[in-house]
A and B are shown apart, each in its own frame.
Chain A
Amino acid sequence: MDRVPILKLGDILIVTIQIDLEDQSVLALQEDLADTVVATGARGLIIDITAVEIVDSFIGRMLSTIASVARMLDAQTVVVGMRPAVAITLVELGLSLGGVRTALNLEKGVALLDHVWDRARR
């Protein structure tokens, strides 16, 4: 089974999904992420799905679950780089990813996290 690598950049954890996600690797990723957030004390989590071309309801729910888990551990989740076709599919499936922040690309995702933290500090 392929494991998705988790990169740490300052306070942010970056996950770039570049493989076809199977149910097993999705579950493994959820666990790995929760462990890493706790271990590193990260406050932000960016999931880059630029390379993901096909989604189903399971992956849609996975994103929501990861965001909820991360929020319990005091980390903000941003999903970046969603393709138009993927966005349309998720909407047609009726998944609006409540509670997940989104950004167009990694750069804007990092900027969004900075913005959120700025506001929280004030």
Chain B
Amino acid sequence: MTISTTAAQRRIEDLLGSHEAQTLKRWQEISETPADELRELFLALRAAVGEGDFSDVRGLLADFSRSRARLGLPPAQTSRAVFGLKEAVYELVEADGDPEALRGYIWFSKLVDDLGLFTFETYSAAREKIIRDQAEQLLELSTPVVKLWEGIVAVPLIGTLDSARTQVVMEKLLQMLVETGSEHAVIDITGVPAVDTEVAQHLLKTVAAARLMGAECSISGISPQIAHTIVTLGIEFGDIVTKATLADALSHALQRSGVELRRESSARIAVKAERA
């Protein structure tokens, strides 16, 4: 940095110091932002211009940007509020009329541009974090493994299946098989709107992996349309057991594990009906 720039910087610093209240007031008017929010920023910025260390200002700006984002204000408005300072300072420089101050203003303008863009970056980083967290939560929420019976677990799948989700489902199901020592698993796809070759491939892989571990895996909840799609696509499910409903799959698994289901005679229900 040349000496003249340093001198110009000092001129701006002096101007900011001597006209503090006035600049702050103009900035508020231009950016239409409450005074207390700007005062802290302004003081930090003034100190930073003197010291040349902007980490404090950036920290404050990040908070400022985040709190405004939380209020639902668009990021452009936040940046514009920051850019408003340029106008306020320009009025100062114009009134001062010193060429040194004008040179300093160029430097100051660049600085404020950087800070304005920084608020934008903070805003998008905060949004991206929210999106990432939500995607993670969705992944966790959407893949519960439930125990239906001693030795029988089920995964009710809801929503569209993609590779990442299927991977999570696969790992969770297999992990549950080990933890509970279950020999039967049911994958219920009632909540899956569409099955394409990729999804079918994932399902087949899951069943194959379960078999390798010594568990039997059936697929239930196949709607008429999905059955039609699978046949039309020519996907071969081979000897994998497929059932229309979860109830069918459960009764199949119970049968395979040697549990006998017997319906009591309907006498009891009839008695109840008579009383009513």
Contact = CB atoms under 8 A, between A and B. Distances in A.
A91 B209 CA distance: 6
A88 B209 contact: yes
Interface residues of A, number: 23
Interface of A: 78-80, 82-88, 90-92, 96-97, 101-105, 108-109, 112
A97 B208 CA distance: 10
B237 to A, nearest CB: 14
Given A84-B175, A88-B170, A104 B205 contact: no
Interface stretch (B80-88, B106-114, B176-184): B176-184
Contacts of A79: 212, 214
A87 B212 contact: yes
Interface residues of B, number: 18
A92 B212 CA distance: 12
A101 B212 CA distance: 8
A90 B209 contact: yes
Contacts of B155: none
A49 B148 CA distance: 28
Contacts of B171: 84-85, 88
Query: 7 tightest CB-CB pairs across the interface, nearest first?
Result: A84-B174, A102-B214, A103-B214, A87-B209, A87-B212, A104-B214, A91-B209
A88 to B, nearest CB: 5
A104 B211 CA distance: 10
A29 B76 CA distance: 69
Contacts of B93: none
A102 B183 CA distance: 11
B246 interface: no
Q: Which of B175, B205, B209 has the most CB of A within 10 A?
A: B209
Interface string B202-218: 00010011111111000
B244 to A, nearest CB: 26
A104 B215 CA distance: 7
Interface centre among A78, A88, A97, A105 (most CB of B within 10 A): A88
A108 B205 contact: no
Contacts of A101: 214
Contact of B213 (A78, A96, A102): A102
A102 B211 contact: yes
Given A88-B174, A104-B178, A82 B212 contact: yes
A78 B182 CA distance: 17
A90 B171 CA distance: 14
A57 to B, nearest CB: 14
B46 to A, nearest CB: 58
B214 A82 contact: yes
Interface in B152-198: 170-171, 174-175, 177-178, 181-183
A101 B183 CA distance: 13
Contact of B212 (A102, A108, A109): A102
B52 to A, nearest CB: 53
A79, A82, A104: most-surrounded residue (chain B CB, <10 A): A104
B177 A91 contact: no
B212 A104 contact: no
Interface string B48-86: 000000000000000000000000000000000000000
A80 B214 contact: yes
Given A91-B205, A104-B182, 9 more contacts: A82-B213, A84-B171, A84-B174, A87-B210, A88-B209, A90-B212, A96-B212, A103-B214, A104-B177
A103 B178 CA distance: 10
Contacts of A105: 181
Contacts of A82: 212-214
Contacts of A92: 205
B1 to A, nearest CB: 57
